[in-house]
Amino acid sequence: MQDVAQCGSQHGRVSTGRTGFVRRATVAAQAGFLLLGMAVTATGEDQSALAPSHLRSVGIEQRLNNQVPLDLKFRDETGQTVTLGSYFSKGPVILSLVYYTCTMMCTLTEHSLVGSLRKVNANIGEQYQVVTVSFDPTDTPELAKAQKAIYVGLYGRLGARQGWHFLVGDQPSIRALTQAVGFRYRYMMDMDQFEHAAGIVVLTPKGRVSRYFPGIDYPSPDIQGALVDASNEKIGNPVDLAQMLQKGRSTSSSPAADGGLVKATQPAALPVTNTPAPASEGLEGKQ
C-alpha cells in the first residue's frame, strides 16, 4: 500500500503542531484518494500498468540492498554543504523524502514519524540518525531550519538536534538519492505542486536499503525492530502488499506528534487524486 497525493505548496511555513490540524489534513487527504491496485508486489513484480498513465511514474519501487551514494552533497539547515555519508557509519539511518512547502502528505508523514519515534526505545542522535531530505531543489536552508525546529521540538529528547538532519539540495543530488531508494514523484507545473508517494526508508550504517515503510502508519515496534536489523546490516524482505491490503481494511490510530491521536482509516490500496494534470517527471520543470 502506498499513499500518493498531490501536495499543495504554500510559500512560507504552516503551523503543524496541533492535533486538530493533523486530523483535518488526514480527512482531506483521504477524501482526495482514489483506490487502485498497487505498483509493486512482494516479489518486486511491476504492476504499474494497472495505474492510470499519469500515475505510472509515481510510487515507491522496493530496491532492497541497493547502495545509496554516500558521496552526494546537500546543504543542511544552517546552509553548510554536507556529504550524505557524514550521517552514516555510527548507526542506522531513517530516511524521509518530503518537500518543505507541502501542506498535506509530507506533514502527515513527518507527524506520524515523530509520533512513532517518541515511542521507540532508542534515541535519535545516539543509536540512530534521521535524515529528512527535500526533493524540491527550490527549497532553502531557512525552510529546512523551520521544519527542524518543529519536529525536534515535538520529539522532545536531548540529542535530537544533533541527530535529526533536514537537508536541501540541487536536482542532480536529489535525483541520485531518490532513484537509489526507488522514490518516484512528479512536479505538476500547472498546479505548482508535486504528486508523490508517502513512506520512509530504513538504511544500514553502510548506506544500504534495509526496509521500507510505505504509507503514513509506522508502528513503533516495527520501527524499532527495523533499526535493530539495519544496525546489524540485515536486509529485510519486500513489503507484502497482500498483507498490507488486509491491514488496510481495518482502522488504525496513528500517534500525532503533539501527543494526540490521529484516527485514520488506512486505504486498502494505492490512493491517488482523481484529477489528472500535465506534469514533469521529477523536478526538471521546476528550477
- Grid cell listed for 259: 501527543
Least confident of 49-58, 61-70, 138-147: 49-58
CATH code (residue 223): 3.40.30.10
* Cβ(34)–Cβ(274) below 8 Å: yes
102 lies in some domain: yes
Q: What local confidence, expressed as pLDDT, does residue 38 receive? A: 37
120 lies in some domain: yes
CA 161 to CA 163: how far, in whole Å? 6
* Residue 240 banded pLDDT, cuts 50, 70, 90: low
155 lies in some domain: yes
287 lies in some domain: no
Three-state secondary structure call for residue 29? helix
Instruction: Provide the percentage of residues in the chain whose pLDDT is more than 90.
Output: 56
Average pLDDT over residues 222-246: 82
* Residue 100 banded pLDDT, cuts 50, 70, 90: very high
CA torsion 269-275-280-285 (nearest 10°) is -130
* Residue 104 banded pLDDT, cuts 50, 70, 90: confident
| Whole-number Cα distances in Å, 66 to 70, 79, 129, 161, 245 | 12, 29, 19, 28, 26
The mean predicted confidence, pLDDT, of the chain is: 75
Check pLDDT > 60 for residue 22: no
94 lies in some domain: yes
47 lies in some domain: yes
Check pLDDT > 60 for residue 163: yes
pLDDT in tens, 173-183: 999 999 999 99
Least confident of 29-43, 169-183, 241-255: 29-43
Residue with the larger pLDDT of the pair 32 and 189 = 189
Q: What local confidence, expressed as pLDDT, does residue 5 receive? A: 52
45 lies in some domain: yes
Instruction: Provide the percentage of residues in the chain whose pLDDT is more than 70.
Output: 64
Winning range, highest mean pLDDT, from 22-26, 163-167, 193-197: 163-167
The burial of 132, by beta-carbon neighbours within 10 Å (0-12 exposed, 13-18 middle, 19 or more buried), is given as buried
pLDDT in tens, 266-279: 322 222 222 233 33
286 lies in some domain: no
The number of domains in the chain is 1
Q: Residue 145 is part of which domain span?
A: 3-281
